[in-house]
Structure 1
């Protein structure tokens, strides 16, 4: 998707992808990452997700990347944090306490800017990208994080019945894009109540560990 598409979504408050609670699948499966307290968790394309609130409350550091500055400012406001901000050229860095958010194109974010991360939580990033971009994204995320373990959540439904995003993702695509660097362990496949606009849909959770 073009950047303007997402900027418009946030400007017009068309953010149906934003959950009004922490994702139950994060709460159920986060333990599989086996992280020590104060670990640094990367949340790509994070928006203002309440999952960040949950991760911080669990005693972790959180680092995110998000295209929309509107979303990031709302995130800090809802957390009642006053961030500092520094311009890093193509990227802006907002930070306060245990939270770092980089605002800009994730493909322009470098591993030097990101710093060390202990795990990745990807609920809404992979599925937001068109097929032509997803292999590039998977490779970039692997390189950015130096093969940090991932908890990845994606959707399966009949793409011919509904235009994404979020896009429908096959297990074979996940294999193609990740198996050269990760062992893939599928954890859960709950049906989504009501589907997507009436189209039956499943949420798939997998745990990726470096090979």
Structure 2
């Protein structure tokens, strides 16, 4: 899945994956990460998510990575913030108080440019990537964040009935990617109202990932 695929989605306004409200799984389960106010949360492939506003309003700092500068501009506009824009290697950094979004390929994001991360909130990244890319992505994500604790949201459905994204990622695959580094805890699931994309029955699941000690 090339970068042009996502750029075209944003240019055409084909953003059915964008949620106009805060994700209920975030609101319900974020507290289980047990973070202090001021903690910095990384949102990979964040788009113009409303979840950023939810986190900022509760005293957290936000970092994100997003391919589309159109999406990033939309995010700052909705937040009512005027970002400072600067070049960081192959990336473009959009900065305002308590928020940094890096525009470009997430695989160009390094631990050095990202800075310290206290937790990851992945609602839209793992499920957006095809199977051939997901192992590379999860390894990279752990590398640049020091395997920070994570609230992960996945979807599960019959992939024969619909092509992703979002892709179906089941429990076995979550374990394949993360069980070596994290203790995995299932924290909740619900049926997607009306089906995913209005097409197929799907379950949305929240996972809490805590780094193994030793």
TM over 0.5: yes
Separation (CA, whole Å) in 1 of partners of 2:54 and 2:170: 29
Structure 1 counterpart SS, 2:38: coil
Deviations 1:102-154 (A, max 9, x none): 00000011000000000000001100000000011111000110010000000
- Other structure's SS at 1:160 match: coil
Q: How does 1:1-211 map to 2 (within 5 A)?
A: 1-196=1-196, 197-211=198-212
Q: Give me the whole-angstrom Cα distance separating, in 2, the residues matched to 1:96 and 1:193.
A: 35
Q: Deviations over 1:35-83 (max 9, x none)?
A: 0001000000000000000000000100000000000011111111110
TM (norm. structure 1) is 0.99
Gaps of 5+ in 1: none
1:89 offset after TM fit, Å? 2.6
Count of residue correspondences: 211
> 1: CA distance between counterparts of 2:60 and 2:200?
36
Distance 1:125 1:93 in 2: 19
| Secondary structure class of the residue paired with 1:154 | strand
Name structure 2 gaps, 5 residues minimum. none
Shift of 1:189: 1.5
Residues in 1 aligned to 2:163 and 2:150: alpha-carbon distance in whole angstroms: 27
After the TM superposition, list the runs of 4 or more consecutive aligned residues in structure 1 that deviate by more than 2 angstroms.
none
* Mapped partners of 1:164, 1:17: distance in 2: 11
